[in-house]
Structure 1
Amino acid sequence: MAPTPYLELKDICKDFSGVRALDGANLSVAPGEIRCLVGENGSGKSTLIKIVAGVVHHDSGEIRIDGHSFSRLHPIDAIREGIQVIFQDFSLFPNLTVAENMAMNTLLAERRRLVTRRRIRDIAGEALSRLGVELDPEALVEDLPVASKQLVAIGRALLQNARLIIMDEPTAALTRPEVRRLLEIIRALKERNIATLFVSHKLDEVMDVSEQITVLRNGRVVADEPRAAFDAARLVFCMTGRRIAQARRSAVPERTDTPLLSLRHLSRKGSFRDVSFDLWPGEILGVTGLLGSGRTELALALFGMEPATEGEIRIEGREVSIRSIHDALRNGIGYVPEDRLTEGLFLSKSLADNAAAGTARDLAGRLGLLPPRAVLRFGEAWIRRLRIAAPSASVPVRNLSGGNQQRVVLARWIALAPKVLVLNGPTVGVDIGSKSEIHAILEDLAAKGMGILIMSDDIPEVLHNCNRILLMKRGRIVEEFDGAATDENELARKLAG
C-alpha cells in the first residue's frame, strides 16, 4: 500500500500575462521520499516550486499539505507546514557567520529582543549535529566554498522542523566529490523521514539519487514513475519529446603547419604552473579538473583578466602579450564565462543590446550614435541564426531561459569572429535539449576553423565534444586523453584520483 502523500498538487494551472506556465500539473511527495523533478528550461519547474513555497499563487487546482487543503498558500504557511526551499543562491547573508545564518530564522520566530552569542552558537550547534558535519560556526559565509554554503542552508532548513526540503539545482556549482557528499546527506535525510524534492538538469545525479521521477514538459506532467522505469534515453525523450543523439565528436581537424594557439610553460603564482599545449584550427580541446585545479584561472589568464606571470602565448605562431581583456580581444580570443548572470549578461537590457554589446562600434552611425533599429535588426538576425526562443529581440534578457541566455552570450562572441573561443562551463544550468543545441553550435564553429577551448568538470560534456582532453590537478596539466578512445569511468577515476 502506497504511503499517504505529505504534499499533493492536483490540476495546478498558472498563467503569466496570457502565457500558460502550468497546465493541469500534478505532483505528490510522500514522507521521506526522494523525488526528482526534471524538465527543460521553461517547462514549469520553477513556477511549480514557487507555488509550493507560497511565493506564487496558483490560478486553479488543489494544494494539500499533510492532509490540509490550501486555496491560497503563503510563504509563512509553507514554512509552518515544514516546507523549506533552498534556491540556487542559497539566500544566505555573506557578511554574517555560519552560526548567525543558521540561527537567523529561529531567532526571528522566537521574537527575542535580546540575543546572546551563546544562544546563537547553541542553535548552530544543533543544526550541525543534525547534519552530522563539521563547520566552523564563526567563519564568515562569504569565505566558505560553495559546498559549505549549501550545508549552511540545509542546516538552517532542518532547524525549522523541515518535513520537505526542495533543492533547486543544488549541484550546479559543486565538484564531483561535493556532489557525492550532498547525495549522501539527502539519503540521510530520508532515514529521518524528511522528504526531498530534487530539481536538476544533471541526469546522472537524478538517476543516482531518485526513487520517483516527475517530468514536466510545456507545463504538463508527461511522466511520473519510479526511477526503475527510466533509463537515460527515455528520460531525455520524456523531457524534450525527441531523441537526442549522444554520439561523440567524430570530426578530427587536419593539422596545419602552425597551431592556432600555443602555450609554453605558462604560469601564474598560486593559480597554475608550467602549462603547455597547442590548439589547432577546427579543434575542440577540453580542459577538465576539479574545483581548484587551475582550469578556471587558466581561462581567465587567456582572456587577460588574471594575466600569467611567466611563460609564452602564441597566436598563429606569433608571440603575443595578454595583460588585459583588450589584449585578448585584439589578438582574437573570446571568453564565455561560467556565471552568465553576473559576468556574461546585462540582465535589464534587451536581447538585442546584449548581443550587440561587442560590436557596437561597427553598428554605430557617422556621429558615433547607435541606431536602435540597427541594434534590433542585429538581435533579430541572431535569434534566427542561433534559434533563440524569444518573442522579439527587444525582450529583456532576464526573461529568457538559461539555455537561451547562453545563446545570447554566444551570439555576442560569434559576432566578433574570434580565432579562439574559451568557454568556462558552457552549459552550466542549461537543460538537456538546449545543451545539445549549444554543442551543435560549437561543432559548427569548429568546422569553420575556429579553435574551441572548453573548461569543464562535466565529464560527458568533454567526452562527447572534445577531440582531446587535458586533465589539470593542482595547477598543472598531468595527463592528455584522446576524446574518442576514453570512456567515462576512466576519466572520472582519473579526475577523482
Structure 2
Amino acid sequence: MRDIVKTFGGVTALGGVSLDLLPGEVLCVAGENGSGKSTLIKIISGAERPDSGEIVVDGTTFTSMDTTDAIKSGIQVIYQDFSLFPNLTVAENIMFTTAVGARRKLYNARATRPAAEQIVSDLGLALDLDATVETLSVADKQLTAICRALVQDARVIIMDEPTTALTHSEVARLFAIVEGQRARGVAFIFVSHKLDEVLAISDRVTVLRSGAHVVTRPAAELDLRSITEHMTGLQVDDSRQVSELAPDAPAVLEVEGLTLPGAFHDVSFTLRRGEILGLTGLLGSGRTEIAESLFGVHPYESGSVIVDGTPTALRSIDDAVAAGIGYVPEDRLTQGLFLEHSIADNMIASSADRLRTPWRTLDRSAIRTTIDTLFTRLRVKAPNVDAPVRSLSGGNAQRVVLAKWLARQPKVLILNGPTVGVDVGSKSEILDILRDQAADGMGVMVISDDVPELVSSCHRVLVVRHGRIVDVLEGDDVEVDSIRKKVAA
C-alpha cells in the first residue's frame, strides 16, 4: 500500500498511509475506532476505492481494485461484522466467495460441499453445514466466516477482529491454523483490540491514529502499554477502579432459583444499588441465556425475580422494560440498533413514550435536550446527531446503544459484551460511563469473557458453568488469574 488517501464527505479517513506485507508474515494493524483500520481493509479488499495511492501485489500495480480483483489476487477478508448471508446455509456461505472468484453463475452443492467439509474438519469444528446462518450463535457465525476465508488458496488473509466471540481454546485453534498457513507462505493482516493476542500472533505491528501512520515496529519491541500509548497518545489506566459499596446498599435485583430447562438451572444472586456485577463463563455456559431471560427474550420456566422490592414476572421484553430493566445485546448491529436511522432516532428509540407532553404528544424540547445531553456526555464521535448509525465505528455505535438505555434511566442495566470490538481508549471511557451510572444508584450487570475488564470494573464476579453459578468472587479474589482458573476448571 503506497500513500493511500481516502476521504468521506470532507472527512479524511486515511491521509497517505503506506504499509508492506511479506510472505508468511503476520502484520497487526492497531488503532482506535475511527483511526482508519476498517477503511484500509476495505480498500485492500476492493470494497472501497482510494482517492489516490497505489496497491501493489507481487509487482502488479493497481490504483484501485474491485472485490473480484482482490479475490483473484488471493486476498481474503474476515470482516468484523462477518458479512454472511443469513438466509443461506453454512456450506453455501463458506463456498460463496470461491464461486464469485471463479465467476460461476450457479451454485453446485455436490461439487463444492466436499471443500466446505474439508476446511471444517481441518479446523476441528462442529459446525452444522446445513444450518442457516441466521440460526447460529455469534461464535458459530465467526467460525463460518473464518472457514470461508481459509477454504480458498489465499495468499493474503485479513482478519478484522476474528476472535471477539471465540473461547480461549477456539482462539488457540485459530492461531494454530494461522501458523500452518504461514508455513505455506500465506501472509496475514491481523486487526484486533485484544492487544495480548496481537503480541502473541504478530511479527510486526503498525499503529494508525486519526487516519495517519504512527509507527511500525517488530512486536518483540512492544508491550501492551506502549501500543496503547501509540494508539491513543495517552496513558490509559486499566487498574482496578471499584467504588466502596455501602454495607446497607439495598438490593435492586433479586433472582432466586431461576430455571430454563436446557439453558440454565437454579440461578440465584442479588444485585445491589450502585454495584457492578460481572457474569462470566465459557461460550455456551448459559451466561447469555440468563441475561436474555431476565430481559424477557427467553422467559424462565420457574424461579422468582424481584426488581427494586417489587416481585416481577418477566414473560416478555415489555415486562422487563416496564420493570426498569435495560439490555445491551451481544450483537449490537443486528439486535441493538436501527442501522439506517440517525443517531438521534436510535437514542430515543426506547424512551419516546416517556418524552411526552401532558397531552400525550411528543415533547420536542425534551427530546432534543435528551439527545444533545447524551451525545455530549457519551462523547459520540460523529458530525452531528443526524448522521446514520451505519456510518459509525464500533466504539461509537456501542455508545449509541448505551445512550438508548440511559435515556430511559433503567433501575438495572444488563450489558452483554459491552466493549467487544471496541478500542482500548473507548473501552476505558465506556467502563467509566458504567461506573458513573452505578455511582448514581443504578445496578449494572456485565456479561464478558474479557477478564481484565471484569477485574477493572466489577465489585463481584459470578462464574457460570453448564447453566449454573458455580463460583462467586469478591474482594481480593477478583483478579485475573483467579477468574481464569475458575472459568477453565
Which TM-score tier does this pair reach, normalised by the shorter chain? over 0.9
Structure 2 counterpart of 1:430, one-letter code: V
Question: CA 1:374–1:140 in structure 2 vs 1: closer, same or farther (change >3 Å)?
Answer: same
Deviation per CA, 1:350-408, whole angstroms, max 9, x where unpaired? 22222122321333345533355653333112112222222222222222222222222
Q: Which residue of 2 aligns with 1:284?
A: 276
Q: Please state how far the C-alpha of 1:291 moved relative to its aligned partner.
A: 1.3
Q: Please state how far the C-alpha of 1:96 moved relative to its aligned partner.
A: 4.2
Q: Which residue of 2 aligns with 1:494?
A: 486
* 3-state SS of 2:345 partner: helix
Q: Please state how far the C-alpha of 1:110 moved relative to its aligned partner.
A: 5.1
Q: Is contact 1:352-1:378 (8 Å) kept?
A: no
Q: Is contact 2:414-2:446 (8 Å) kept?
A: yes
Q: Is contact 2:242-2:456 (8 Å) kept?
A: no
Deviation per CA, 1:408-467, whole angstroms, max 9, x where unpaired? 222222222222211111111111111100100111111122111111111111111101
Q: Which residue of 2 aligns with 1:322?
A: 314
Q: Please state how far the C-alpha of 1:495 moved relative to its aligned partner.
A: 1.2
Q: Is contact 1:94-1:140 (8 Å) kept?
A: no
Q: Please state how far the C-alpha of 1:258 moved relative to its aligned partner.
A: 3.9
- Give the distance between the partners of 1:333 and 1:148, measured in 2 at CA: 28
- Give the distance between the partners of 2:264 and 2:24, measured in 1 at CA: 44
Question: Of 455, 461, 474, which residue of structure 1 is paired with 2:453?
Answer: 461
Question: CA 1:415–1:61 in structure 2 vs 1: closer, same or farther (change >3 Å)?
Answer: same
* 3-state SS of 2:446 partner: strand
Question: CA 1:308–1:110 in structure 2 vs 1: closer, same or farther (change >3 Å)?
Answer: closer
Q: Percent identity?
A: 50
Matched, 1:300 2:296: no
Q: Which residue of 2 aligns with 1:50?
A: 42
Q: Which residue of 2 aligns with 1:245?
A: 237
Matched, 1:206 2:189: no
Q: Report how many residues are paired.
A: 488
- Give the distance between the partners of 1:303 and 1:128, measured in 2 at CA: 34
Q: Please state how far the C-alpha of 1:17 moved relative to its aligned partner.
A: 1.3
Question: Of 368, 383, 388, which residue of structure 1 is paired with 2:360?
Answer: 368
RMSD: 2.4
Deviation per CA, 1:462-488, whole angstroms, max 9, x where unpaired? 111101101000000001112543432
Q: Is contact 2:127-2:140 (8 Å) kept?
A: no
Q: Which residue of 2 aligns with 1:426?
A: 418
Question: Of 105, 130, 142, which residue of structure 2 is paired with 1:139?
Answer: 130
- Give the distance between the partners of 2:277 and 2:438, measured in 1 at CA: 10
Q: Please state how far the C-alpha of 1:73 moved relative to its aligned partner.
A: 2.1
Q: Which residue of 2 aligns with 1:88?
A: 80
Question: CA 1:100–1:181 in structure 2 vs 1: closer, same or farther (change >3 Å)?
Answer: same
Q: Which residue of 2 aligns with 1:23?
A: 15
Deviation per CA, 1:233-278, whole angstroms, max 9, x where unpaired? 1111111111110110231201327422211111111111111111
- Give the distance between the partners of 1:94 and 1:409, measured in 2 at CA: 23
| 281-290 or 349-358, which deviates more | 349-358
Question: CA 1:371–1:450 in structure 2 vs 1: closer, same or farther (change >3 Å)?
Answer: closer
Q: Please state how far the C-alpha of 1:329 moved relative to its aligned partner.
A: 2.4
- Give the distance between the partners of 1:73 and 1:54, measured in 2 at CA: 5
- Give the distance between the partners of 2:171 and 2:372, measured in 1 at CA: 39
Q: Please state how far the C-alpha of 1:199 moved relative to its aligned partner.
A: 0.9
* 3-state SS of 1:29 partner: coil
Alignment of 1:163-182 (within 5 A): 163-182=155-174
Q: Please state how far the C-alpha of 1:118 moved relative to its aligned partner.
A: 4.1
Structure 2 counterpart of 1:140, one-letter code: A
Deviation per CA, 1:308-343, whole angstroms, max 9, x where unpaired? 211121234432222222322232222221222222
Deviation per CA, 1:53-93, whole angstroms, max 9, x where unpaired? 12211122222111221123222222222111121343344
- Give the distance between the partners of 1:397 and 1:372, measured in 2 at CA: 21
Q: Is contact 1:288-1:472 (8 Å) kept?
A: yes
| 247-256 or 357-366, which deviates more | 357-366
- Give the distance between the partners of 1:12 and 1:111, measured in 2 at CA: 29
Structure 2 counterpart of 1:139, one-letter code: D
Q: Is contact 1:335-1:422 (8 Å) kept?
A: yes
Deviation per CA, 1:152-190, whole angstroms, max 9, x where unpaired? 444443454210001111112222222221122111111
Alignment of 1:398-409 (within 5 A): 398-409=390-401
Q: Which residue of 2 aligns with 1:480?
A: 472
Q: Is contact 1:261-1:420 (8 Å) kept?
A: yes
| Residue ranges of structure 1 left out of the alignment (5+ in a row) | 1-8
Q: Please state how far the C-alpha of 1:287 moved relative to its aligned partner.
A: 0.7
- Give the distance between the partners of 2:453 and 2:105, measured in 1 at CA: 53
Question: CA 1:160–1:273 in structure 2 vs 1: closer, same or farther (change >3 Å)?
Answer: closer
Question: CA 1:94–1:356 in structure 2 vs 1: closer, same or farther (change >3 Å)?
Answer: closer
- Give the distance between the partners of 1:370 and 1:103, measured in 2 at CA: 49
Q: Which residue of 2 aligns with 1:222?
A: 214
Q: Is contact 1:267-1:273 (8 Å) kept?
A: yes
- Kindly name which structure, 1 or 2, has the bigger radius of gyration based on alpha carbons: 1
Structure 1 counterpart of 2:440, one-letter code: K
Structure 1 counterpart of 2:66, one-letter code: H
Matched, 1:274 2:271: no
Question: CA 1:159–1:430 in structure 2 vs 1: closer, same or farther (change >3 Å)?
Answer: closer
Q: Is contact 1:256-1:280 (8 Å) kept?
A: no
Q: Please state how far the C-alpha of 1:150 moved relative to its aligned partner.
A: 4.3
Q: Please state how far the C-alpha of 1:209 moved relative to its aligned partner.
A: 1.0
Q: Which residue of 2 aligns with 1:195?
A: 187
Matched, 1:451 2:443: yes
Question: CA 1:116–1:404 in structure 2 vs 1: closer, same or farther (change >3 Å)?
Answer: closer
* 3-state SS of 1:28 partner: coil
Q: Which residue of 2 aligns with 1:4?
A: none
- Give the distance between the partners of 2:42 and 2:85, measured in 1 at CA: 21
Q: Please state how far the C-alpha of 1:296 moved relative to its aligned partner.
A: 0.9
- Give the distance between the partners of 1:180 and 1:453, measured in 2 at CA: 28
Q: Please state how far the C-alpha of 1:42 moved relative to its aligned partner.
A: 0.5
Matched, 1:261 2:253: yes
Q: Which residue of 2 aligns with 1:3?
A: none
Q: Which residue of 2 aligns with 1:412?
A: 404
Q: Is contact 2:156-2:186 (8 Å) kept?
A: yes
Q: Is contact 1:166-1:198 (8 Å) kept?
A: yes
| Residue ranges of structure 2 left out of the alignment (5+ in a row) | none
